[in-house]
Amino acid sequence: MILAFNKPYGVLSQFTQEAPHHRTLAEFGFPPGVYPIGRLDSDSEGLLLLSDEKSLVDRLLNPANRHPRTYWSQVEGIPSAGDLLPLERGGIPIQGYRTLPCRARLMPGEADVPPRHPPVRYRASIPTAWLELTLVEGKNRQVRRMTAAIGFPTLRLLRVRIGKFSLNGLEPGTWKELGSRERRELMP
C-alpha cells in the first residue's frame, strides 16, 4: 500500500513525539504498519509518501535511480535566469556534499497554493518570487540551502510532485491510498 499525504506546515515526518509542542503523523489516522518514505522538515509542506512496502525506499530515494521530486519554493527577492544557473549546473556545496544538477525555473506570478498557517512574513520593501525546482536527490534541508547559497532564501517550501504523481486536489492534512494508475505515475 502507498499513501499520498499533503503534509501541513509544522508537522514532523514521524509518528513519535519528541517534544510536546510538535505535531506528528500520529494525529492523521494512518493505517497501522505504514511509515514515511523520505522526509519533509516541519517547516516544509506538501507531498509525503507513506507505505508498508519497504522495497520502495531505495527505488524512490536513491539518487542513482534519478527519481524526480518537484518543489515550489517561495524565495525572498526575484532571481534572474542567470541566478538559477548554479542550481542547474549542480555542485553547490552543502555540508560537505556537492549537489547534483537540477531543473530550476522562475514561475510566472503567484503559485496556486492554499494559505499557510501561520502565514509567511510579509515585507513591503522586499519582493518575493516562486521557483519550481526538480531534484533527483534529497539531502536534509537541501532546497532551502541551495536557494540561500545563490542569495535567495526560501520563505515557503512545498513538494508538489514525485515522479509524475502530483498533489492535485489533495488538501493539506488529508491523505489517500494510491490506485494502480497513480502508482504508475509515481514509478513509471
Report the range out of 34-38, 57-61, 123-127, 143-147 with the highest average pLDDT.
143-147
- Kindly list the domain boundaries of the chain, sorted by start residue: 2-186
Question: Residue 140 — very low, low, confident or very high, per pLDDT cuts 50/70/90?
Answer: confident
C-alpha cell read off for 88: 542547474
**Which CATH topology does 2-186 take?**
Pseudouridine synthase (3.30.2350)
User: What pLDDT score does 18 carry?
Assistant: 75
User: Could you give the angle at which helices 142-149 and 81-89 cross, rounded to 10 degrees?
Assistant: 130
Q: Would you say 49 and 36 are in contact if contact means Cβ atoms under 8 Å apart?
A: yes
What are the CA-CA distances from residue 56 to residues 21, 47, 130, 144, 186 (Å)?
31, 16, 30, 26, 11
- Report which residue type is found at 34: V
Choose, from 41, 43, 52, 58, the residue flagged as catalytic: 41
Question: Residue 186 — very low, low, confident or very high, per pLDDT cuts 50/70/90?
Answer: confident
Could you tell me what percent of the chain has a pLDDT over 90? 68
Give 54-63 pLDDT, tens digit per residue.
888 777 777 7
How many Å apart are CA 106 and CA 72, to the nearest integer? 10
Mean pLDDT value across the chain: 91
Better-predicted residue by pLDDT, 187 or 154: 154
User: What pLDDT score does 188 carry?
Assistant: 62
Q: Inform me whether the pLDDT recorded for 27 exceeds 70.
A: yes
Say which residues have a Cβ less than 8 Å from residue 54's Cβ, sequence separation at least 6: none
Is 112 an active-site residue?
no
User: What pLDDT score does 71 carry?
Assistant: 97
Q: Inform me whether the pLDDT recorded for 12 exceeds 70.
A: yes
